[in-house]
Amino acid sequence: MKALVFLGGGRITSALIAGLRLTQGQAEIIAPQIIVPRIIVPQIIVPQIIVHDRNPEKLRELRRKYRVGIELDLHRAVAQAGLLVIAVRPDSVRELLGVIGPPRSTVCAISLAAGIPLRKLRQWLPGVPWVRAMPSPAARFGKGLTALAFESGLPRNLQKEVTDLFERVGGVMKLPEEKFNAFTVTYSISHGYHALAALAQAAEELGLDRKTALLASAHALADGIVAWREASASLDELLKEAATPGGIAATVMQTMDEGGYQKIIESGLRTGLKRTRENAKR
């Protein structure tokens, strides 16, 4: 079986590999009657994982933590790839693909690079089918979401293979490529961290200690999302339920809205979208 090869061993590669390893850990629990030493499980469930990065110390760290194969030589890494995941930053993609040259045995290439369109990827590395994928570091816990945009005409078996890979680390949704950049700026777990930091900081300004501020803020945000996911009610109905007219929550929300809460979020996303379009011009 050909390997799953990552070019770039940074943050998102580490999160995806951790998530894949977690799935393998769960397999041990799902089938307790099969007593397999943990180290053998990866060979049964996912193809061999190989990572190439220009920083040998990052590779050694990945090998130590996740028992992946590492390959210091780019061409040797590519030669082993069935699925080839491009996980370098957008400004490095063109140069990297230029060095690789047409891969002879890679079945499918998957780019994680924000903003770089399929037509550019195809131009920079022809002769291999392309997929764009946008996962998040939540893949580390098997709880993420990955959007996929397939090159037109990509055979169904390849679409399934790529979908299956990302389903191991969370939900998967197929998106038309023209929506991909809007998804990219909307789906970042940084929004959760950012909102948590802002709410907790405001609570501290009102006199809560840091621990209580974080706990209250985390519950406010997370409980709202859980309720929305689990309830049959619409978001509007939930908002009405949580905010008595003229009450405290309603007053807080009204003040925030009048201060431009919605507008500042949209403005942030628009700036992010502009940035993804700049990546496309590289």
Ligand X SMILES: NC(=O)c1ccc[n+]([C@@H]2O[C@H](COP(=O)([O-])OP(=O)(O)OC[C@H]3O[C@@H](n4cnc5c(N)ncnc54)[C@H](OP(=O)(O)O)[C@@H]3O)[C@@H](O)[C@H]2O)c1
Binding residues for ligand X (CB under 6 A): 8-13, 53-55, 58, 87-90, 92, 96, 112-114, 134-137
Q: Which is nearer to ligand X, 56 or 155 (CB)?
A: 56
Rounded to the nearest whole angstrom, what is the least distance from the CB of residue 10 to ligand X in the complex?
2
Which residues, including other chains, have CB under 8 Å from residue 87's CB and lie 6 or more apart? 6, 7, 8, 9, 10, 12, 13, 16, 112
Rounded to the nearest whole angstrom, what is the least distance from the CB of residue 191 to ligand X in the complex?
12
Q: Which is nearer to ligand X, 47 or 187 (CB)?
A: 187
Residue 249 CA: distances (Å) to CA of 83, 107, 177, 211: 50, 54, 39, 22
Q: Which is nearer to ligand X, 10 or 192 (CB)?
A: 10
Rounded to the nearest whole angstrom, what is the least distance from the CB of residue 6 to ligand X in the complex?
9
Rounded to the nearest whole angstrom, what is the least distance from the CB of residue 40 to ligand X in the complex?
28
Rounded to the nearest whole angstrom, what is the least distance from the CB of residue 224 to ligand X in the complex?
23
Query: What amino acid is encoded at 123 in this protein?
Result: Q
- Cα dihedral sign for 122, 181, 188, 236? negative
Closest Cα partner for 272 from 196, 198, 188?
A: 188
Q: Which is nearer to ligand X, 161 or 183 (CB)?
A: 183
Which residues does residue 170 pair with via DSSP β-bridges, in sequence order?
144
* Closest-approach residue to ligand X (CB): 10
Q: Which is nearer to ligand X, 134 or 169 (CB)?
A: 134
Each as own residue / partner, the long-range contacts of residues 62-67 (CB below 8 Å, 24 or more positions apart, any chain) are: 62/9, 62/13, 62/14, 62/17, 65/14, 65/18, 66/14, 66/17, 66/18, 66/21, 67/21, 67/39, 67/42
Q: Which is nearer to ligand X, 114 or 131 (CB)?
A: 114
> Are 158 and 129 contacting, i.e. CB atoms less than 8 angstroms apart?
yes
Rounded to the nearest whole angstrom, what is the least distance from the CB of residue 55 to ligand X in the complex?
5
